[in-house]
Amino acid sequence: MMYPPGYMKLREKGELTARIRDLKKLLEECRLCGRKCGVNRLAGERGYCGAGAVLEVASSCLHRGEEPVLTGDLGVGNIFLGRCNMKCVFCQNHSISQPAGNKASDWGSSANELTEKLLRFQKQGCPTAGFVSPTHYAPQIFEALDLAAEKGFSLPVIYNTNGYDSLELLSLLDGLVDIYLPDFKYWNSEYGNIYSDAPDYPETARKSVKEMYRQVGTLRTDPSGTAVRGLIIRLLVLPGGIAGTGDILRFISEELGTDVFISLMSQYYPAHNASKFPTLARKLRPEEYSETVRILEELGFENGWVQDPLTSPDSYLPGINFKL
């Protein structure tokens, strides 16, 4: 295999079992995300996100709406995990990320069941497999991935996160994740608090994306143009400059470099509870997005994707506008 996934390399070295064991220890005093609730999920306790010991898969499907470098002709085999460690008032997937209450749901899934889903994606011809909102279930995910690899699974793995991951977790994911796909939602801690109940989000995200980049570096592709390893940072431009996208881009250019792949998204619309907040109660204006594109180009970023602000809220499909 020209580009063997990292988890396969660790498995061949006999290191994967120990790594999964260390990941599971984080569940005993939960420290997976920036909140570090400290609850013992293995003993039945539930923290802020409501997740327990049992893996919860809310949905699994072929998804063609991701960045083209991830999808190939067929699409990404995406696993959408239930619940979330943030409470974004504008979340477009709120029915999955913010279910009512912290009680157990009917999303419960065993490692063997997730293994079969992954193997099915590979059999269907997906070029990559993605875990969406994986942070709070990372130990269970990689336990299933080990079982899948034993049965022949060998696709590059995408870790599609909101960026609110603890450094302790990320250090254990070093070598396990092939492609990091984090959001960077806010530059301002006040907005992180008001709109996502996460005042320390900006500080956590800055540390997280730097660690992700240290692990996987600039995005690399195979001869067909499909990503096999690297970092893509997603930036959703919010109305009224709430995200601080220009400041985030300056941070990335200074700390990581302008060769980082940026997915600049204009698909915001007032979903979930956004209508209760005046600034967020409208769609993004084209001129707001265009100003962010200007900053992107001025800083010298050349890799990634931008969207059409007039159509993207209805289509969610990134349009290629930069040369890979």
Give the list of residues 6+ apart from residue 44 with CB closer than 8 angstroms, or none. 52, 53
pTM of the full structure: 0.95
Cα–Cα distance for residue pair 223/314, rounded to 1 Å? 32
Give the C-alpha separation, 127 to 29, whole Å: 36
How far CA 257 is from CA of 121, 232, 320, in Å, comes to 34, 13, 21
Q: Which two tokens stand for residue 300?
A: 């010298």
Q: Pairing state of beta strands 319-320 and 227-236?
A: unpaired
Tell me what pLDDT residue 121 has: 98
pLDDT at 317: 44
Single-letter code of the amino acid located at 134:
P
pLDDT value of residue 100: 79
> Following CA atoms 65, 68, 69, 70 in sequence, which dihedral angle do they give, to the nearest 10 degrees?
20
| Per-residue pLDDT, 314 | 63
Residue 245's pLDDT is what? 98
For residues 194-209, b (16+ Cβ closer than 10 Å) or e, as one string?
bbbebbebbebbbbbb
Q: How far apart are CA 164 and CA 102, in angstroms?
A: 20
The helix or strand, by DSSP H or E, that contains position 307, with its residue range, turns out to be none
Question: Which residues, 6+ apart, have CB-to-CB distance to 17 below 8 Å?
Answer: 146
Query: What is the structure's pLDDT at 124?
Result: 96
Q: How many CA atoms lie within 13 A of 105 on its CB side?
A: 24
How confident is the model at residue 171, as a pLDDT? 98
Contact 102, 50 (CB under 8 A): yes
CA distance 75 to 29: 37
Strand (E) or helix (H) holding 323? none
Structural domains of the chain ordered from first start: 6-320 (3.20.20.70)
- Each of the 324 residues of the chain gets a pLDDT tens digit; together they read 678 999 999 999 999 999 999 999 999 999 999 999 999 999 999 999 999 999 999 999 999 988 999 999 899 999 999 999 999 999 999 999 999 766 557 899 999 999 999 999 999 999 999 999 999 999 999 999 999 999 999 999 999 999 999 999 999 999 999 999 999 999 999 999 999 999 999 999 999 999 999 999 999 999 999 999 999 999 999 999 999 999 999 999 999 999 999 999 999 999 999 999 999 999 999 999 999 999 999 999 999 999 988 876 665 544 434 333
**For residue 32, what is the DSSP state?**
S
Predicted pLDDT at 136: 98
Give me the pLDDT at residue 318, please: 42
Which residue, 305, 301, 315, 182, is CA-closest to 249?
301
Taking the C-alpha atoms of residue 291 and residue 286, their distance in angstroms, rounded to an integer, is 9
